[in-house]
């Protein structure tokens, strides 16, 4: 019976599967430098990672966020995107999940073309059935755009979806999709920050390495 259950695991990217804090921090401060704004401490930037870039810049300045984002991406395309590494055990876990016939995807606040490039750089593309990042269509609401639910339910009907991520926005995404949530503590948010937002079933794990087939099925 279990073999007939279709399960889609939708992962966040930054700090769930990959560590690219160096590239993001350097890109963010490069943009601030370009507009003669004070640099932020690493810890201040890390707390915001997972939010859309518009929100990140609006948290620190009243300047036009579009111009700051352009500067951010100028550095990120040239250097920041290469300052990335897989978190421990991720490749092995993705292979295990794929071997067990799970459908795997990514929903990220990162610009879609950048997310796809990161996945290609780390040789992960063959694990994922889809990658959804920021596009012009989903720019304003990002992960919380209701269009994502329409896309997933149409493309993967009769499928049990579980969202996996490190950020409160991932919890809210799971609420919007009406599905369980698996939180990982490899980012910059505590277990309490994640679970206090959750409506419905959830698990909190230290990292993707701790994810097991049994734990996935316990949520559905």
The reported pTM is: 0.89
| CB neighbourhood size of 41 (10 A) | 10
- In this predicted structure, the answer to whether residue 1 has a pLDDT above a threshold of 60 is no
Task: In whole angstroms, give the CA distance from residue 144 to residue 163.
Answer: 13
What is the share, in percent, of the chain residues with pLDDT greater than 70?
98
pLDDT confidence of 157, banded at 50, 70, 90? Answer: very high
pLDDT confidence of 142, banded at 50, 70, 90? Answer: confident
Contact 162, 105 (CB under 8 A): no
State pLDDT tens for residues 84-103. 999 999 999 999 999 999 99
Task: In whole angstroms, give the CA distance from residue 5 to residue 148.
Answer: 22
Contact 195, 181 (CB under 8 A): no
What is the share, in percent, of the chain residues with pLDDT greater than 90?
85
What domains lie within the chain, and their CATH numbers? Answer: 2-18+85-217 (3.40.50.1000), 21-82 (1.10.150.240)
């Amino acid at each position: 019976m279990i073999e007939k259950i279709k399960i889609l695991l939708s992962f966040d990217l930054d700090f769930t599967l990959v560590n690219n804090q160096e590239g993001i921090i350097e890109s963010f401060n490069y943009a601030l430098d370009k507009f003669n704004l004070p640099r932020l401490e690493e810890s201040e930037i890390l707390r915001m990672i997972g939010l859309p870039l518009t929100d990140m810049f609006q948290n620190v300045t009243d300047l036009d966020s579009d111009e700051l984002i352009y500067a951010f991406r100028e550095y990120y395309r040239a250097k920041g995107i290469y300052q990335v590494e897989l978190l421990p055990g991720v490749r092995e876990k993705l292979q295990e999940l794929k071997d067990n016939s799970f459908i795997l995807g990514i929903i990220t606040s990162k610009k879609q073309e950048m997310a796809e490039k990161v996945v290609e750089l780390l040789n992960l593309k063959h694990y994922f059935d889809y990658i959804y990042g920021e596009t012009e269509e989903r720019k304003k609401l990002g992960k919380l755009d209701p269009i994502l639910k329409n896309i997933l339910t149409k493309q993967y009907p009769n499928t049990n979806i579980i969202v996996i991520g490190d950020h409160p926005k991932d919890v809210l995404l799971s609420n919007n999709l009406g599905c369980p949530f698996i939180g990982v503590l490899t980012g910059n948010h505590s277990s309490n920050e994640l679970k206090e937002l959750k409506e419905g079933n959830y698990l909190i794990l230290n990292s993707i390495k701790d994810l097991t087939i049994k734990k996935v099925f316990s949520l559905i």
